[in-house]
């Protein structure tokens, strides 16, 4: 276990993908307090660890004891994410967590892709 210390406050934190996502637990969210968390990595490995990661966000944020609004930004569409959002929506609201969905697209050269803008 890592030594105890004060939490670290950041504007934006990228959550690890693939197998590294297994290291993100309640303690991670208790210590790393971000205004925005980006969940990236649309792969089959991420689907298996996504629900525990999202549940850890709720549990860790509950321990903050301060009213800080948090935005969760998924960079991919996922059935697991949709189910978690539906099942925990009330808890998300209680904790001040907003899940950002984007229907915007950006066109560059010969391709288009989904995008969102985050301002601080």
pLDDT digits (tens, 9 = 90+) for 89-113: 999 999 999 998 766 677 888 888 7
Band (120; pLDDT cuts 50, 70, 90): low
Which residues, other chains included, contact 23 with Cβ-Cβ below 8 Å and sequence gap of 6+? 16
Residue ranges making up the domain that contains 46? 8-114
**Is 75 within the bounds of a domain?**
yes
pLDDT digits (tens, 9 = 90+) for 51-60: 899 999 999 9
Within 13 A of 22's CA, how many CA atoms are on the CB side?
5
**Is 25 within the bounds of a domain?**
yes
**Is 120 within the bounds of a domain?**
no
**Is 12 within the bounds of a domain?**
yes
The helix/strand/coil state of 112 is strand
Dist. CA 106–CA 104, nearest whole Å: 7
Count of CB atoms situated within 10 Å of the CB of 29: 25
pLDDT digits (tens, 9 = 90+) for 72-90: 988 877 888 889 999 999 9
**Is 1 within the bounds of a domain?**
no
**Is 119 within the bounds of a domain?**
no
The average pLDDT across 43-67 equals 85
**Is 2 within the bounds of a domain?**
no
Number of domains in the chain: 1
Round the average pLDDT of the chain to a whole number and report it. Answer: 85
**Is 94 within the bounds of a domain?**
yes
């Amino acid at each position: 276990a890592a030594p105890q210390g004060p939490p670290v406050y950041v504007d934006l934190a990228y959550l690890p993908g693939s197998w590294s996502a297994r290291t993100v637990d309640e303690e991670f969210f208790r210590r790393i307090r971000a205004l925005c968390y980006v969940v990236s990595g649309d792969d089959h490995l991420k689907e298996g660890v996504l629900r525990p990661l999202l549940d850890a966000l709720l549990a860790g944020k509950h321990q903050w004891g301060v009213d800080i609004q948090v935005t969760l930004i998924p960079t991919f569409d996922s059935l697991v994410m949709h189910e978690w959002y539906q099942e925990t929506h009330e808890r998300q609201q209680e904790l001040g967590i907003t899940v950002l969905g984007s229907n915007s697209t950006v066109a560059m050269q010969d391709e288009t892709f989904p995008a969102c803008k985050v301002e601080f």
